[in-house]
Structure 1
């Protein structure tokens, strides 16, 4: 089995090693540089990196490799789950074979863990997309980043009588996790995320405030919906939104989105964003409240 630090065929002068939490800023800087080229703006935040790496089930030393030019991180790979990984190569170092070396490391690392496939989501038409296509990665699904642009009026969308939206409390966390995971697992082919990992992404995420997790209750006081929204600079991201199966078809998600957008603006957001893909079939819901496609992504995977 290849050691985590052993990346063959790196260009002369570059070194590799497993990452630590202290490398989070370097990963952010590298991904941000890629996104400026591919998207024209930065989509990732430092909190995204930290919240993912702080999961109790995650072993950063065994799951990552970084490529360094002296002390500067210029590329990295991260086997983040059973069948998905992250990787980035700084634009200044692309075209040197680094991405190919990281892809081989990701595949071998995933294979040794028993995975039968591994993939990643990248901007459509980007250097990463072209490299993955050349390496034999197939498209699993298409995804979109949508945004409610600055200045677009948020049209009120009242809830049905008796329904209430409120901030979650610590006592609600397990119920919110169950509802969101149940909804996402209807179309997502993955194991259920442990609540401890889910917590790292939501209420243990750096900067979390009570309004970031909103719950929808029906007239009987039952939890039937949940929204997770957070700020990154002057942008708000609706990371998760779910409605219990037996309460769908009543346009409750529209009311939940309007609520999230309004709260985000009250807390300084000038635009609101979210991501969806062809598996969820929810793009029309988001466009109905004024969101527009900002970028298109493809999720590519390869069998191991």
Structure 2
């Protein structure tokens, strides 16, 4: 990655962030989440995956901001049309958020994006106000759902002609096709396999035992991909996908309950997952006993010209 200039408030400096600084960035993100949400919710491997993409993918980039004493004050990341920005709680109110937003929009334009979006917790009112003041508008609502696992969950039999087993080495390519085919309906771009794998099956916290797959006629037609949190008793469902021609047959419900049962056997007390407006799956998750824990909104805007902000 090339170095770049970034206008900042007095006393701060910036440079490109690298994979080697994943733990530094994760501590920053954790401090932000503890202040806003009361706990750390982003795993280290998620941050490492984002920074790894910045090292590998030409459409990704990241920046790290430090103060005069060398302490980490903020960071920003751009990947395709998505961005993430965090300012350390001890450095809020000094204009860093606005500077990082300027950087994200400029870098996204230079990297070829025609629009940019960010997901903001609905409880983060200052960030919401900043985005709205800059012309961002709400695109979708995201929900974090959770379910307690005090007892083993009953798993319904799969539909006729469908078999279920857990993820095995060699299933990666087929799982990629099922998820990306399903997500083509609403995601802005289809991820290359290497990017998808780095964000899912190559993560250190990927949990094959809690990732059941559905097959019909020898082909994979549905899946749940899960991960675990080394620092808690939570399991996480990262992806739920069913091939279009096999939907509305109860496959997703069966796979989710299978994942819940596995997490219970592993001694995990809860399982969480994120969904959003465009998937239309909120009611499914609520019917199987999950409840909304918190919400976020994805805000987006069009970029006027490559390399320029509006």
Provide the TM-score with structure 2 as the length reference.
0.89
- Map 1:210-249; keep pairs closer than 5 Å: 210-218=208-216, 220-233=217-230, 234-249=233-248
- Map 1:88-107; keep pairs closer than 5 Å: 88-107=86-105
Task: In structure 1, list runs of 5 or more residues that go unmatched.
Answer: none
Residue 223 of structure 1: how far off its partner (Å): 1.3
Residue 5 of structure 1: how far off its partner (Å): 4.2
Count of residues in correspondence between the two structures: 297
Partners of 2:3 and 2:131 in 1: CA distance: 21
- Map 1:1-304; keep pairs closer than 5 Å: 4-12=3-11, 14-55=12-53, 57-58=56-57, 63-69=61-67, 70-80=69-79, 82-126=80-124, 127-149=126-148, 151=150, 154-188=153-187, 190-218=188-216, 220-233=217-230, 234-304=233-303
More displaced, 150-159 or 67-76?
A: 150-159
Secondary structure class of the residue paired with 1:174: helix
More displaced, 170-179 or 286-295?
A: 170-179
Partners of 1:157 and 1:40 in 2: CA distance: 36
More displaced, 294-303 or 146-155?
A: 146-155
- The 4+ residue runs of structure 1 with deviation greater than 4 A are none
Residue 248 of structure 1: how far off its partner (Å): 0.7
Q: 1:10 to 1:4 in 2, by over 3 A?
A: farther
Q: 1:7 to 1:228 in 2, by over 3 A?
A: same
Q: 1:198 to 1:130 in 2, by over 3 A?
A: same
User: Conserved in 1, the CA contact under 8 Å of 2:214 and 2:223?
Assistant: yes
User: Conserved in 1, the CA contact under 8 Å of 2:162 and 2:214?
Assistant: yes
Q: 1:194 to 1:273 in 2, by over 3 A?
A: same
More displaced, 200-209 or 146-155?
A: 146-155
Partners of 1:212 and 1:272 in 2: CA distance: 11
Residue 209 of structure 1: how far off its partner (Å): 4.6
Provide the TM-score with structure 1 as the length reference.
0.91
Partners of 1:31 and 1:9 in 2: CA distance: 20
Q: 1:151 to 1:168 in 2, by over 3 A?
A: closer
